[in-house]
Amino acid sequence: MPEASEAAAAVQGLPTATVVLKPKRARPFFGRHPWVLDSAVAKVEGQPADGDVVDLATHDGHFVARGLWNSQSRMRVRLYAFDASTKLDAELWHARLASALALRKTLGLDERAGATRLVNSEGDDLSGLIVDRYGEYLAVQVTALAMAVRLDTLCDALESLVAPRGILLRGAERGLAKLEGLSLVDRVVRGAAPVGPIFVHEHGLKFGVDLAEGQKTGYYLDQRENRQAAARYARGRRVLDMFCYSGGFAVACAVSGGARSVLAVDTSAKAAALARANAELNGAANVTVEAVDAFEKLDALAAAGERFGMVILDPPKFARSRSTVDDALRAYHRINRVAVGLLEPGGILVTCSCSGSVSRDDFLQMLSGVAQRSARPIQLLECRGAAADHPVSASCLEGEYLTCVIARVP
Ligand code: SAH
């Protein structure tokens, strides 16, 4: 194909090349799995530029799916359509975004002052794109080169569908960006950035979110429903919120839940300041926040013989990859064992893992181990995941990463 028509094909969302799979490697893609790794690829017919539309074919030439090419990533192709008639053009991205927004509307999460994940990558058939709404602003996180190349088109669609005051780009985690060959810098891509923190609503509570400097895209939206679920057990209890970030669990337990008092801990001074501000914003005078290391604090509280009616553990990702799962499980075991020791009889443990490579089963087995070693029964009450505005594709279960177990220790 001559160069000019290749460019035209790209604009029209049609393939410029065909990626041919090795024999017997097509099955996951007939099952709509969106990630084609280099190890499955036999050859490339054509010379696609990174971000170009390509077709995926079986070794004997049958169409499998349509996706976007990235020579710099082990994930050579990300798939976005499974029939040969779908063009990967502006119209398609617009339609996918509209469908994602329709889901949030179904969930009742389309309030303008709310904080919601509007697009959850594979879970919304938009592999490599995350869009969070914080009131009038959108925070966009791009984790695939193919989406970075189309950032303008995607922002056009978001502007026409949501009409935000500003769209902010937040870079992917450093490791991820390197794997994709991405070099995006955080910046305002449309409109204006908010001046200072913005305030969002969550279940009748207000939270200040620092869009420019905060962790993730500014806030942990995935735990929204789990914070409320935890709060339902908090009445009258002395609560310990470990790894509190901006104080989501602490404030929910104190205000919605009616906890007697809350001690919240985060090693980051910035996070602790946010948590203090959020407690104050919601009139929670019984929340104390300490900027100290949670592991040391847990040991110190245990050594001092302190007791709590509820302990919340929401640590950062312990396992970065499959090879570190065993170490991660040992670390989960250690903090959960100390937490169980801190609970008074009938106390509630809220324990989370956001390590995608630690399965829910592994996490529950870890809790069995804690029950055995601490010689205390653990009653599992609720086993929860991320909020419903973080949908997971049944064809890409790798998107499932968050476990939140609520348990009672008699
Ligand atoms: N529960 C929070 C999210 C927690 S994210 C919410 O609902 O919003 C994990 C937090 O752990 C981060 O804020 C991070 O700063 C903190 N953290 C990481 N290592 C830590 C350590 N060693 N001690 C205490 N906090 C730590």
pLDDT of residue 83: 96
The answer, yes or no, to whether residue 336 has pLDDT greater than 50, is yes
220-409, CATH topology level: Rossmann fold (3.40.50)
With bands split at pLDDT 50, 70 and 90, how would you rate the model's confidence at 1?
very low
The class level of CATH for 2-81 reads: mainly beta
DSSP string, 138-191: EEEEE-SHHHHHTHHHHHHHHHHHH--SEEEEEPPPHHHHHHHT-----EEEEE
Tell whether ligand 1 has an atom less than 6 A from the beta carbon of residue 248: yes
Distance 321 CA to ligand 1 centre (A): 19
pLDDT of residue 2: 44
Predicted confidence (pLDDT) per residue in 241-257, tens digit: 999 999 999 999 999 99
CA nearest neighbour of 408 among 344, 353, 365, 352: 344
Atom of ligand 1 nearest to the CA of 241: 1
Among 3.40.640.10, 2.40.50.140, 3.30.750.80, 3.40.50.300, name the CATH number for the domain at 90-191: 3.30.750.80
The answer, yes or no, to whether residue 387 has pLDDT greater than 80, is yes
Lookup result for tokens 């604009």: 11
pLDDT of residue 276: 98
- State how far the Cα of 338 lies from the Cα of 121, in Å rounded to an integer: 36
Atom of ligand 1 nearest to the CA of 352: 1
- State how far the Cα of 374 lies from the Cα of 382, in Å rounded to an integer: 21
Helices and strands (DSSP H and E) totals, the chain: 12, 20
Distance 288 CA to ligand 1 centre (A): 16
Amino acid at 247: G
Distance 330 CA to ligand 1 centre (A): 18
> How big is the chain by its Cα radius of gyration, in Å?
23
Q: Which of 200, 203, 216, 243 to mutate to test the pocket of ligand 1 (most atoms within 8 A of CB)?
A: 243
Longest pairwise C-alpha distance within the chain: 76
Tell whether ligand 1 has an atom less than 6 A from the beta carbon of residue 244: yes
Distance 211 CA to ligand 1 centre (A): 17
pLDDT of residue 58: 98
Cβ neighbours of residue 326 closer than 8 Å, sequence gap 6 or more? none
Atom of ligand 1 nearest to the CA of 268: 15
383 is known as an active-site residue: no
Predicted confidence (pLDDT) per residue in 214-224, tens digit: 766 788 999 99
Predicted confidence (pLDDT) per residue in 29-86, tens digit: 999 999 999 999 999 999 999 999 999 999 999 999 999 999 999 999 999 999 999 9
The answer, yes or no, to whether residue 100 has pLDDT greater than 80, is yes
| Of the candidate ranges 75-84, 189-198, 358-367, 383-392, the one whose mean pLDDT is the lowest | 189-198
Predicted confidence (pLDDT) per residue in 245-302, tens digit: 999 999 999 999 999 999 999 999 999 999 999 999 999 999 999 999 999 999 999 9
Q: The pTM is what?
A: 0.94
Predicted confidence (pLDDT) per residue in 147-157, tens digit: 999 999 999 99
Distance 46 CA to ligand 1 centre (A): 47
The answer, yes or no, to whether residue 3 has pLDDT greater than 60, is no
Q: Which of 221, 245, 350, 390 to mutate to test the pocket of ligand 1 (most atoms within 8 A of CB)?
A: 245
Lookup result for tokens 């008092």: 261
Q: Does residue 57 contact residue 25 with C-beta atoms inside 8 Å?
A: no
The answer, yes or no, to whether residue 178 has pLDDT greater than 80, is no
- State how far the Cα of 369 lies from the Cα of 62, in Å rounded to an integer: 49
* Domain edges within the chain: 2-81, 90-191, 220-409
Atom of ligand 1 nearest to the CA of 271: 13
Tell whether ligand 1 has an atom less than 6 A from the beta carbon of residue 271: yes
- State how far the Cα of 65 lies from the Cα of 31, in Å rounded to an integer: 10
- CB atoms < 10 A from the CB of 333, how many? 16
Which of 155, 253, 354, 404 is the catalytic position? 354
Distance 314 CA to ligand 1 centre (A): 7
Tell whether ligand 1 has an atom less than 6 A from the beta carbon of residue 18: no
Q: Does residue 154 contact residue 184 with C-beta atoms inside 8 Å?
A: no
Tell whether ligand 1 has an atom less than 6 A from the beta carbon of residue 295: yes
Average pLDDT in the chain: 94
